[in-house]
Structure 1
Amino acid sequence: MHDAHAFLANLTLVLCVGALTTYLFQRIRQPVVFGYLVAGMIVGPHVGVPLFADLSMVTTLSELGVIMLMFGLGLEFSLRKLVQVGPTAGVVALVDTSVMLVFGYGAAQLLGWSTLESVFCGAIVAISSTTIIVKAFAEQGVRGRFTELVFGILISEDLIAILLIAVLTTVAAGGGVSAGEVGITAGKLVLFLVGFVGIGLLVVPRLVRAIVRLDRPETTLIVSLGLCFGGALLALGAGYSVALGAFIMGSLVSESGEARRVEHLIAGVRDMFGAIFFVSVGMMIDPRLVAEHWGAVVLLSVVVIAGKLIAVSTGAFLMGNDVRTSTQAGMSLTQIGEFAFIIAALGLSSGVVREFLYPVAVAVSAITTLTTPLLIRASGPFASMVDRNLPRPLQTFVGLYGSWIERLRVASADAGLAPLIRRKVILLAVDALLLAGVVIGVAYAKGPLAGYVERTTAFSPGVSTVVLYGIAAMVAAPLIVGIVRVSAAFASLLAYRALPLAAGNRLDYAQAPRQVLMATLQLALVTVSGLLVVVVTGPFVPLGRGAVVLALVVGWLGVVFWRSTANLYGHTRAGAEVLIAALAKGMVAQQADAQESGHAPAPRDLTMVHRMLPGLGDPVPVLLLAESPAVGRTLGELQLRSLTGAVVLAITRGDEQVMLPVGSERLLVGDVVALAGSSEAIDAARLMLQLG
């Protein structure tokens, strides 16, 4: 039990130094998180400043900071929102963690670390920090649709981290990891979540509403904090993180409809303990060990920032988000935090990693914590730059892809589709597991098998090894082909559901966009399957071999994808011509109706356009009136596609028509702008064109 006076002294020291540094950092217009980290270094044991706080006591207080920050996040992120983004966020989180496991393992191997140290390194860089992002978003007042996606990914990654820790605990203890053990761990987690949420929904919202009706802020605050820490303690008792329990409890309180009132009451307490958490992170930075392993710190920081930006952005886009939302999500998740410390401490305490790994993890976390606010701030301009510099075929592709995924989601509601998807997933998983089994089996039994070949054939040891690898390649090749073929069949199934053949049509008007969608989905499925195989086999074979095979297969599929996008561009130009003809027929009626409605109603012939060119989604015409804020500005100045995700197929201007206009095209009064994309993208673009 800490001495009361020592506790007071440590709390005073941490808060006073933190107050000074954050004041200074605010004066120089830098994120206050920087100030908290500097304060931690000042009061920590490694810098030499004669101001020392008790690290264990501050760490205990910092745990309260994690709980409060996660509870506050849960208040803003209700269970309904979590259900809405859950499937998308879960897939993106799976892609992100798989990619980072490979990148982290590969980086550690380049540094000459042992196999187990490389495994732990991959796990350390795989999970983003919910605490850091919550703080950064709160400081910068970040709001928007992409934040819901980010929080969904974070929660999904936290669940993946729990499974990772369970697996690594077994590995560190010297035991094997079986699929059954992982399945049991996942099953227990699901049962805990179902029980927690199910019972909580019956009790917590009613309790909170009853307390709020008393109209006593003090009572509401105490009850809310009691629920917060109670949820954290319940999760801890079940063997999970306090962050998970606090977040779920915050979401349950949010279901009461009183989240804003509760959030206002706990804001001060949350900010205080959140500050202590970041100070505790700064206290763990040892400049000596960081300087000694500066190469590892720099390399892993680059891996975290670049790897997560690529993995999250790509995964989010493939799930139907526009380029801007995907890029902003990717740049927001470029850091590691609390789970990295837990995983590094697990490896250190079990003796399977050397002592340098923990301070390296803390240093990487500190660096990426410092860069996160800067990257979040730069994410919007960077996304616009990426969108502007995409080749024209890719610009058309990214504008239409969201509408295809939207149609696929609608089609997936078909009850007959689920068994087909399940069968394809099982086939893909079986091929990937068999391939991993072949690779691991050869790696384990290479010596005895090569010896057997040598004895039965009288070959030399070197030739016997080559023969063994040749046999293994012959066994593995059909499995690799199987993964590619099953992925193609899976992609074809989904693409035909999103863009089906029109009944009675001899010509397949959706062929070009369907081919692009098939190529995209196949590329994604093969990449994810290959990454999972590389992750599983990484500890047993040199990482480069699997990466080279995967790169060759993905490169070939990438060429197919690029050719498909070129065909799509030609298809879209033809579609724009049909669309212009349809708009011209209804132009007179449009102009008359526009004076009353303020926007152009869809001409009757647009239904024909949709039937003939289903790959263009549901084109929507928007008439620009004199009061439109878009009049006189170019498409490039508006950043219409970058900000909304919609693509401009054509502009009709009296007798003049512009197909697939470029960014320098200036909008004029009376222009009819034909938009394509997802319904959400079109609504946002229409709002921008008409209301600004």
Structure 2
Amino acid sequence: MEDHARLLLDLAMVLGVAALTSVLFQKLKQPAVLGYLLAGMIVGPHVPVPLVADLGNVRLMGELGVILLMFTIGLEFSLPRLLRAGPPALLTGTLQVGTQLVAGFLVARLLGWAPLESAFFAASLSIASTMILAKLFDERGIRGALKDTVLGVLLVEDLHAVLLLAALTAAASLGGPSAGAIAGTLLKLGVFLAVLVGAGRLVVPRMVRWVADHARDEVLLVVAAALCFGLAQLAAWAGFSVAMGAFVAGMLVCESGRGRKVEHLVHPLRDLFAAMFFVAVGMLMEPAVVLRDWPLVLLFTTLVIVVNAVAVTVGATLAGLPLALGVRAGLALGQVGEFGFILLSAGIGLGAVDPSRYALLAAICVATALATPALISAGEPAARLAERHLPLALKTYLGLYQSWAAALRAPALRKAPGAAVRRTFLQLLLDAILIGLVGALAPRVMRMATAWLEGPGAFGHTLAQGAVLLAASALVVLLVGRMLRRSRVLAERLLDLPGPGDLGTRPDTRRAFRTGLRLGVLLLTGLPVLAAVLALIPLASLGALGAAVALAIPLLVWRRARGLQRDLSADAEWMGTDARDPWGTPEAAPALHSGGWRTLRIGPRCPSLGRNLGDLDLPGGSGVVLVALLREGHLLEPRPEARLQAGDLLALSGPASALDQAEALLGREPGGGLPA
């Protein structure tokens, strides 16, 4: 009876304090998550306040919150939705998670942390907060391309988070990053998931659909909760995370087509118990530890914001999204999310992570969450600043590349590449996996082979090790060479698709686009494999590899951009093909392209004739990219002070709606009215 009374007391105490702190943070226009963390500190044992809840009880209720949170993430995840998010979200999310994971791991290792602890902590930094961003977007009324891009990246991040959770818990449960043991555990996990998902898809969607259509809402809620906790417990019995089982349950319910209805019913329960989870995190926060480790808080906070901003911007740009959109999305994603606590909790529970890291992560979460509103507000000025100082060669290159990529993402072309592209991409991914396996298994193979090959004496031992290392290096070189060749083949096949203005068929643009495509494909296939074997790679090798990639990407893009600029300066008249003059005669306004490219001719009747580009503000007013300004066959830099003259050609890139809006802005009289 005392246990029941204590549980009731803890529930009343935690909810009461959390209610007060969350209302306070709501008034301060800050995320409610910060209020829950503060509530945990108040009812925890490390703050001199006469309100101390039982950590075991709060953790138990917080575990229910984790299960329900993962269940709702699974409800939102489906293969069709991932396909709708498209290659841009997949590439951007993968690059962001992989880059943050590698950077965080390197910093943690340089601080002297153990490999597995570093991997867990780096993984906890690599997932942004769906809860914080969704709330801020709703409060600020942010819609359109920025919200769609960020939510698509968050969806991909959630997928990577589930994979990281499975891989890291497998490594921790085996006592360390043993390649053979991890491979065996992941194989067991694959079989478990295949059986669970295969059998579940035969039963769960039909059952949920029938209950949703024929029973009351409370019955549907009970059935959904039973599936959620039942599969979570089944995963625990199999030796895997309860969070993963709940995620699979959500995916299966989503397959019923009634996921939205179930999510609406589960949402209040999820919010209630998720609050308990963050309160439990706050109870573990030691202010003395945070004050002692404030340099680490500052270091990792800066790392999260800077690395996420750069990685998302680069990923979005390589995926063909506008640079301004990439900058804004990168700054918006500069925080540590709720999934980070789930990952770190798993590591602490398995004894792989020092419990004091919880307080450090919570302090980083608070710092990044407090900075997020300011980062979102700074997104647009930062994007304008980046575009204003971008060299002309890069501006032209990115604008043309975006135009071609926008046409490639058109619904009519999504299935055009066919089986050949999919087969080539899968072959690339297989090569990347084989490289990861060679790197992971090399130490064990070296020990076994050395014992078999070595002769008497130290010389024989060294010779045997050298022979094994040479064989492994030769195999890696062979696989890397094959990846490079296949990335070129894949880029060529994508460039053969129809695009606006034949951008993919011209030799100059084709050479330039091929570089961006190959970089994107290689990062998309290589980074997940690198993340999987991160703890097995020597620190010096990992640092050298990271530095080489960080230098190679901008150098390659800059080289191609300069080459394209030279080619366009010699022959830019092709940009004027099919140019439109919407303000002239009907014959001067040919049919519109279906892609993201449009060239407008400034005729004598254009209302914007004689105005400066800076006054028109086409990028800010419509969202287009001003790729080039052509005057009498010569390519000019579209500076803000450039004044439009009769006969000028404006090459614009962007979605069809943005291009229409830019055309309308050019057709607006200086006083604000439309032409008669």
Distance 1:303 1:538, change over 3 A: same
Asked whether the equivalents of residues 116 and 176 of structure 2 are also in contact (C-alpha less than 8 Å), the reply is no
Asked whether the equivalents of residues 100 and 307 of structure 1 are also in contact (C-alpha less than 8 Å), the reply is yes
In the TM superposition, what whole-angstrom CA distance separates every residue of 1:260-316 from its partner, at most 9, and x where no partner exists?
Answer: x974x7776665555444333322211123334444443333333333333344334
Asked if residue 233 in structure 1 is aligned to residue 238 in structure 2, the reply is no
Corresponding residue for residue 676 of structure 1:
653
Q: Which stretch has the larger CA shift, 629-638 or 34-43?
A: 629-638
Corresponding residue for residue 593 of structure 1:
586
C-alpha displacement at 1:399, in angstroms?
A: 2.1
Q: Which whole-Å CA distance do the structure 1 matches of 2:600 and 2:80 have between them? A: 33
Q: Which whole-Å CA distance do the structure 1 matches of 2:66 and 2:21 have between them? A: 21
Q: Which stretch has the larger CA shift, 111-120 or 223-232?
A: 223-232
Corresponding residue for residue 202 of structure 1:
206
Q: Which whole-Å CA distance do the structure 2 matches of 1:625 and 1:271 have between them? A: 61
Corresponding residue for residue 164 of structure 1:
167
Task: Tell me the SS of whatever aligns to 1:591.
Answer: coil
Asked whether the equivalents of residues 432 and 483 of structure 1 are also in contact (C-alpha less than 8 Å), the reply is no
Counterpart residue type for residue 659 of structure 2:
A
Q: Which whole-Å CA distance do the structure 1 matches of 2:615 and 2:569 have between them? A: 20
Match of 1:500 among 485, 496, 501: 496
C-alpha displacement at 1:44, in angstroms?
A: 1.9
Counterpart residue type for residue 598 of structure 2:
P
Asked whether the equivalents of residues 483 and 526 of structure 1 are also in contact (C-alpha less than 8 Å), the reply is no
Counterpart residue type for residue 430 of structure 1:
L
User: Identity of counterpart residues, as a percentage?
Assistant: 29
Q: Which whole-Å CA distance do the structure 1 matches of 2:623 and 2:589 have between them? A: 21
Task: Tell me the SS of whatever aligns to 1:675.
Answer: strand
Corresponding residue for residue 157 of structure 2:
154
Task: Tell me the SS of whatever aligns to 2:652.
Answer: strand
C-alpha displacement at 1:671, in angstroms?
A: 8.1
Corresponding residue for residue 361 of structure 2:
361
Corresponding residue for residue 659 of structure 2:
685
Counterpart residue type for residue 123 of structure 2:
A
Counterpart residue type for residue 619 of structure 1:
R
Asked whether the equivalents of residues 117 and 353 of structure 2 are also in contact (C-alpha less than 8 Å), the reply is yes
Asked if residue 638 in structure 1 is aligned to residue 641 in structure 2, the reply is no
Distance 1:529 1:244, change over 3 A: closer
Residue correspondence of structure 1 range 343-492 to structure 2 within 5 A: 343-406=343-406, 410=413, 413-435=417-439, 437-438=441-442, 441=445, 455-456=458-459, 475=471, 478-479=474-475, 481-492=477-488
Q: Which whole-Å CA distance do the structure 2 matches of 1:433 and 1:551 have between them? A: 22
C-alpha displacement at 1:236, in angstroms?
A: 0.7
Corresponding residue for residue 576 of structure 2:
580
Corresponding residue for residue 244 of structure 1:
247
Task: Tell me the SS of whatever aligns to 2:181.
Answer: coil
Asked whether the equivalents of residues 635 and 663 of structure 1 are also in contact (C-alpha less than 8 Å), the reply is yes
Asked whether the equivalents of residues 394 and 565 of structure 1 are also in contact (C-alpha less than 8 Å), the reply is yes
In the TM superposition, what whole-angstrom CA distance separates every residue of 1:371-424 from its partner, at most 9, and x where no partner exists?
Answer: 344434433443343333322222222223234445656375323333344334
Q: Which stretch has the larger CA shift, 55-64 or 45-54?
A: 55-64
Distance 1:333 1:455, change over 3 A: same
Distance 1:393 1:367, change over 3 A: same
In the TM superposition, what whole-angstrom CA distance separates every residue of 1:70-98 from its partner, at most 9, and x where no partner exists?
Answer: 66667777764334226654454443443
Q: Which whole-Å CA distance do the structure 2 matches of 1:378 and 1:124 have between them? A: 25
Counterpart residue type for residue 653 of structure 2:
A
Asked whether the equivalents of residues 123 and 343 of structure 2 are also in contact (C-alpha less than 8 Å), the reply is yes
C-alpha displacement at 1:244, in angstroms?
A: 1.9
Task: Tell me the SS of whatever aligns to 1:619.
Answer: strand
Corresponding residue for residue 84 of structure 1:
84
Counterpart residue type for residue 229 of structure 1:
A
Distance 1:548 1:209, change over 3 A: same
Asked whether the equivalents of residues 13 and 53 of structure 1 are also in contact (C-alpha less than 8 Å), the reply is yes
Task: Tell me the SS of whatever aligns to 1:415.
Answer: helix
Counterpart residue type for residue 652 of structure 2:
L
C-alpha displacement at 1:149, in angstroms?
A: 0.8
Match of 2:639 among 651, 657, 662: 662
Asked whether the equivalents of residues 651 and 657 of structure 1 are also in contact (C-alpha less than 8 Å), the reply is yes
Counterpart residue type for residue 181 of structure 1:
T
Counterpart residue type for residue 568 of structure 1:
L
Match of 1:511 among 507, 511, 530: 507
Q: Which whole-Å CA distance do the structure 1 matches of 2:271 and 2:347 have between them? A: 31
Asked whether the equivalents of residues 572 and 634 of structure 2 are also in contact (C-alpha less than 8 Å), the reply is no
Counterpart residue type for residue 110 of structure 1:
L
Residue correspondence of structure 1 range 597-616 to structure 2 within 5 A: 601-602=589-590
C-alpha displacement at 1:153, in angstroms?
A: 1.6
Counterpart residue type for residue 235 of structure 1:
L
Alignment: residue pair count: 647
Q: Which whole-Å CA distance do the structure 2 matches of 1:375 and 1:275 have between them? A: 25
Distance 1:139 1:509, change over 3 A: closer
Task: Tell me the SS of whatever aligns to 2:639.
Answer: coil
Unaligned runs of 5+ in 2: 236-241, 669-676
Distance 1:384 1:3, change over 3 A: farther
Asked whether the equivalents of residues 630 and 690 of structure 1 are also in contact (C-alpha less than 8 Å), the reply is no
Asked whether the equivalents of residues 491 and 519 of structure 1 are also in contact (C-alpha less than 8 Å), the reply is no
Task: Tell me the SS of whatever aligns to 1:45.
Answer: coil
Q: Which whole-Å CA distance do the structure 2 matches of 1:2 and 1:627 have between them? A: 83
Corresponding residue for residue 461 of structure 1:
none
Task: Tell me the SS of whatever aligns to 2:48.
Answer: coil
Q: Which stretch has the larger CA shift, 24-33 or 510-519?
A: 24-33
Corresponding residue for residue 566 of structure 2:
570
Q: Which whole-Å CA distance do the structure 1 matches of 2:476 and 2:136 have between them? A: 43
Q: Which stretch has the larger CA shift, 152-161 or 626-635?
A: 626-635
Q: Which whole-Å CA distance do the structure 1 matches of 2:193 and 2:19 have between them? A: 40
In the TM superposition, what whole-angstrom CA distance separates every residue of 1:579-598 from its partner, at most 9, and x where no partner exists?
Answer: 33653xx75x961339xxxx
Q: Which whole-Å CA distance do the structure 2 matches of 1:90 and 1:513 have between them? A: 24
Asked whether the equivalents of residues 209 and 258 of structure 1 are also in contact (C-alpha less than 8 Å), the reply is no
Counterpart residue type for residue 420 of structure 2:
G
In the TM superposition, what whole-angstrom CA distance separates every residue of 1:42-83 from its partner, at most 9, and x where no partner exists?
Answer: 222211112223333333444455566666667777764334
Asked whether the equivalents of residues 95 and 311 of structure 2 are also in contact (C-alpha less than 8 Å), the reply is yes
Residue correspondence of structure 1 range 58-207 to structure 2 within 5 A: 58-63=58-63, 65-66=65-66, 80-85=80-85, 89-143=89-143, 144-172=147-175, 176-193=180-197, 195-196=199-200, 199-205=203-209, 207=211
TM-score between the two structures when normalised by the length of structure 1: 0.77
Corresponding residue for residue 548 of structure 1:
544
Counterpart residue type for residue 309 of structure 1:
A
In the TM superposition, what whole-angstrom CA distance separates every residue of 1:80-137 from its partner, at most 9, and x where no partner exists?
Answer: 4334226654454443443333223212221112333333333333444444444444
Counterpart residue type for residue 683 of structure 1:
S
Counterpart residue type for residue 438 of structure 2:
L
Asked if residue 314 in structure 1 is aligned to residue 310 in structure 2, the reply is no
Task: Tell me the SS of whatever aligns to 1:172.
Answer: coil
TM-score between the two structures when normalised by the length of structure 2: 0.78
Q: Which whole-Å CA distance do the structure 2 matches of 1:521 and 1:122 have between them? A: 28
C-alpha displacement at 1:543, in angstroms?
A: 1.1
Q: Which whole-Å CA distance do the structure 1 matches of 2:518 and 2:250 have between them? A: 36
Q: Which whole-Å CA distance do the structure 2 matches of 1:359 and 1:5 have between them? A: 29
Superposition RMSD in Å: 4.7
Corresponding residue for residue 597 of structure 1:
none
C-alpha displacement at 1:534, in angstroms?
A: 5.5
Distance 1:45 1:135, change over 3 A: farther
Asked whether the equivalents of residues 327 and 379 of structure 1 are also in contact (C-alpha less than 8 Å), the reply is yes
Q: Which whole-Å CA distance do the structure 1 matches of 2:433 and 2:622 have between them? A: 38
Asked whether the equivalents of residues 25 and 35 of structure 1 are also in contact (C-alpha less than 8 Å), the reply is yes
Q: Which whole-Å CA distance do the structure 2 matches of 1:533 and 1:419 have between them? A: 19
Q: Which whole-Å CA distance do the structure 2 matches of 1:152 and 1:404 have between them? A: 25
Asked whether the equivalents of residues 397 and 568 of structure 1 are also in contact (C-alpha less than 8 Å), the reply is yes
Asked whether the equivalents of residues 334 and 368 of structure 2 are also in contact (C-alpha less than 8 Å), the reply is yes
